[in-house]
Amino acid sequence: MAGVIPAEARPDVGAFLSRLLRLDKAAVIRLVPGVGSTALWGRVPFGVLVVRGLPAVSSRDVTVRAQDLLDALRGDATLPASRDHEWRWLLPPSTGRRIEEIPAAEVHRVAAAAAETARTALDQGVGGRAVGSRRVRDALLDHVPIVVETADGRVEVPQRLVQAVIRMNFVGGPDGPPVSVRRAGPWVALAGAYGTGWHRPIGESLNLQVSPYRPNG
pLDDT at 72: 93
Residues 25-76 have pLDDT tens digits of 999 999 999 888 899 999 999 899 999 998 877 788 999 999 999 999 988 8
- Reduced to 3 states (helix: H, G, I; strand: E, B; else coil), residue 93 is coil
Which stretches of 14-68 are assigned E, i.e. beta strand?
28-33, 37-44, 48-55, 62-65
Residues 152-161 have pLDDT tens digits of 888 999 999 9
Residues 90-140 have pLDDT tens digits of 999 998 999 999 999 999 999 988 777 666 544 444 454 544 456 556 777
What's the predicted TM-score (pTM) here? 0.85
Whether pLDDT at 215 is above 60 = yes
Q: Which residue has the higher pLDDT, 207 or 8?
A: 8
pLDDT at 122: 44
Total Cβ atoms within 10 A of residue 152? 8
pLDDT at 153: 85
Q: Bridge-partner residues for 39, per DSSP?
A: 32, 53
pLDDT bucket at 6, cuts 50 / 70 / 90: confident
Alpha helices in the chain (DSSP H): 10-23, 66-73, 104-124, 133-142, 159-167
Total Cβ atoms within 10 A of residue 151? 5
Whether pLDDT at 22 is above 90 = yes
Let me know: does 15 contact 71? Beta carbons within 8 Å: no
Amino acid sitting at position 33? P
Domains of the chain: residue spans and CATH: 7-86 (3.10.150.10), 97-199 (no CATH)
